[in-house]
A and B are shown apart, each in its own frame.
Chain A
């Protein structure tokens, strides 16, 4: 589909344990997504790490927005997460104690969840909550 974006995802610091122990994954995200972050309307294929999940169509009903990091978080929870979603998300965002980097920059400098995704972005999630 024209405009579909490939987003590289890295999980580390123990967070990969929630994602089938795969540190490096990738997902395909449409340019426009439901404003309510619902990720189920148009999912077509499974999300194995070698074959990124993909979409048939942009959602046809309801409000849409340009795909942002907030949507990506919901997408990862709904399609890549294997266990214990409460250790990844809390109150509609990433759980406190998980660091997020957008193309090697602290997401706090990039607008956090409101950051608009671009093709080939790399998003890194690092848990700080595991033993040191």
Chain B
């Protein structure tokens, strides 16, 4: 991997010099396919998109993690071609008749190509069957309204019915404001389903990624039998801005990071993105063995 990137790094540097040089001259236009390069939002370096993908969407230069869509996250974790999507036909309505909400959903749907902020279904991970769901932070901050809450609940129920382990990858700003009290009630609904899941003695692995706050962290994200968080993820209940505004406390730099929560005893494991899949596989294997003993 290192060699591969080193090789490309040279090309990128060369390209940068070439491209920037030509642009200043404004004489010839180079025919560069769109999306060939990606700019790192952290260090601003230009990177071959291919190299970003091959590196699990981690910047090869500065090591920071790109926020990725639900589909990309899913593709990183499940065996290729194994995913069967559930509840695709659930769509958002406007329960409170909140001004501008429908338009907003419509716009975000077009931008992301998704109906809602949660993608769920059945898949295999290293040939083990799982129920898996992924929150998409690109869709209204991965916020939880009626549809997300319903899909999460149905996934938990499918996991109970089929007696399969449950994996949920979280990335959410919390409950969705525009659906008001209905969003708040999704916290109760998902927690209720997890109480049944717990009674059924099934494994629930919660994977927390950047950012996970509010009503999602205060419901299913924090209820995993095992909670694994991705390095550098922001995790908390109240938003940093809210805390700063209402309390006027000085907050340490690493406040609400995965490492901060690990230190405080709130997480089992904090892990690099590139090690996430193998860790999930290992945890699924541990729990598969347990099930076999039962039979």
Pair from one complex? no
